[in-house]
Amino acid sequence: MSRFKFSVGPWNVASGVDVYGPPTRDEIPMKEKIKKFAEMGFDAIQFHDDDAVPDISSKSEEQIIAEAKELKALLDEYNLEAEFVAPRLWFEPQFKDGAYTAPIKENWEHAMWRTYRSIDIANILGAKFIVLWLAREGTLCMESKPPVETIQQLTKSLNLMLEYDENIKIAIEPKPNEPIDRSYAGTVGHAIALGNATIDPDRMGVLVESAHSTMVGLEATHDLAFAIAQNKLLSVHINDQNGIKYDQDKIFAAENLRSAFNQIKVLCDSDYDKEGKYVGLDVKAMRSTSFEHSYEHLANTIKVVKMLEDKVDKFDQAVVDEYVKDGNYEAIEMYILELLLTK
């Protein structure tokens, strides 16, 4: 048994499409995914606004509320919680040069409209926070927007969200690159600083994704630790990534086992599980995986977390402390390698 509660996003079961090729697997309807997630033992689901209410931009506020209530009834049927709602502000053409940092006022207003609707949906589903993955908040063309004013526009957008609902919390999920190559707020440090610049820093936090740290050569464990030390860690997206490359969303520990061990260790050591928070998965099956194995990357990730928890339970800090006193850092390396490589 794991000490953690797990959450998953419906987009984690996907068709295998990438920028260089078409789908390799059939799409699975949302209701089927939710049923399967419940059977797999997940505790909560993560939603984009348009996962919860498809084609959200074409719908009235009344329709959005009605559909969110239907979804809530479905979740209740399976005894599932909603962890968060995240406005998906990167597909619509209006957001081609940013959403909260859009240079054209009407586009920014549309981003805010979708965010307010996301907060409404979160309230109906019982989710305590929204997640902002600032996917297009930067620019492909540096001169298209004056950076200082534009970053201030981002802070203003956050303030409006905090004013819209006095209880909602906001977790910023930073990503340094892809789809834009130059993000305005690409790291955990930026995300925390942005939160601190708002009118209500206590309701601002971060969601740390392993791959987003790795893809800029940062250590995900220390990004988690940094957020925990500032009391800002609202959620996590565990996954893995082969170095400083395109976003891969591989199963946890598939590329960086020692880092994965330390990520789980820092969560265990900080009693993350006791605060009612979820270990969120943001993993995708590889493009080469066949349809019949559409869910195995999720089951395997949970299995790996449990195995790493066992390793964390076996880890003895007193042994390491002795080696530190003796300056025997080689012994620490070997202690960890033996821990990870033997039963």
Q: Is 48 a residue of the active site?
A: yes
Q: Does 175 engage in binding with ligand GLO (CB under 6 A)? A: yes
In the structure encoding, which two tokens stand for residue 236, read together?
């996590």
Q: 203 vs 237, which CB is nearer to ligand GLO?
A: 237
Question: Is residue 280 a contact partner of residue 234, using CB atoms and an 8 Å limit?
Answer: no
Which CB sits closer to Mg ion, 203 or 237? 237
Q: Tell me if 240 contacts Mg ion by CB under 5 A.
A: no
Degrees to nearest 5, angle at CA 133 with 130 and 138: 135
Q: Should residue 131 be labelled a site residue for ligand GLO when binding is judged by CB under 6 A? A: yes
Q: Output the smallest distance, CB 286 to ligand GLO, in A.
A: 16
Q: Which helix (H) or strand (E) holds 320?
A: helix 317-325
Q: Contact with ligand GLO (CB under 6 A): which of 247, 294, 305, 309?
A: 247
Residues binding Mg ion: number (CB under 5 A): 3
Which parts of 196-235 interact with ligand GLO (CB under 6 A)? Answer: 209
List Cβ neighbours of 275 (8 Å cut-off, separation of 6 or more): none
Q: Which residues contact 185 (CB under 8 A, 6 or more apart)?
A: 134, 137, 151, 154, 172, 174, 191, 193, 194
Which tokens go with 336? 């960890």
Q: Which of 49, 50, 51, 249 is catalytic?
A: 51
> Which residues pair with residue 8 across a beta bridge?
45, 281
Q: Does 137 bind ligand GLO (CB under 6 A)?
A: no
Size, binding site for ligand GLO by CB under 6 A:
9
Binding mask 253-282 for Mg ion (x = CB under 5 A): -----------------------------x
> Judged by CB under 6 A, which of 6, 95, 100, 133 binds ligand GLO?
133
- Is the Cβ of residue 282 or residue 309 nearer to Mg ion in the bound state? 282
Among 237, 250, 265, 277, binds ligand GLO (CB under 6 A): 237
**Dihedral, 185, 190, 195, 197 alpha carbons, nearest 10:** -90
Contact 198, 160 (CB under 8 A): no
Cα angle 288, 290, 293; round to 5 = 120
Task: Give the shortest CB-66-to-ligand GLO separation in angstroms.
Answer: 24
Q: Which residues pair with 129 in a beta bridge?
A: 84, 169
Told to check if 209 binds Mg ion by CB under 5 A, we report yes
**Considering CB distances under 5 to 8 angstroms, the limit depending on partner class, which of ligand GLO, Mg ion, none binds residue 86?**
ligand GLO
Interhelix angle 296-314/329-341, nearest 10 degrees: 130
Q: Dmax of the chain from CA atoms?
A: 68
- Report the nearest approach of ligand GLO to the CB of residue 332 (Å): 33
Residue 279's closest CA among 260, 256, 302?
Answer: 302
CB of 86 to ligand GLO, least distance (A): 4
Is-catalytic flag, 51? yes
Interface with ligand GLO (CB under 6 A), residue from 49, 81, 120, 282 = 282
Instruction: Count other C-beta atoms under 10 Å from residue 329's C-beta.
Output: 11
The pairing of strands 5-8 and 44-48 is: parallel
Selecting among 48, 110, 212, 297, the annotated active-site residue is: 48
Q: What are phi and psi of 98, to 5 degrees?
A: 110, 160
Cβ 237 to Mg ion shortest distance, Å:
4
Could you tell me which residues come within 8 angstroms of residue 319 by beta carbon, excluding any fewer than 6 positions away?
335
223 binds Mg ion (CB under 5 A): no
> Is residue 86 near ligand GLO by the rule CB under 6 A?
yes
Binding residues vs Mg ion (CB under 5 A): 209, 237, 282
Binding residues vs ligand GLO (CB under 6 A): 86, 131, 133, 173, 175, 209, 237, 247, 282
Q: Active-site positions?
A: 48, 51
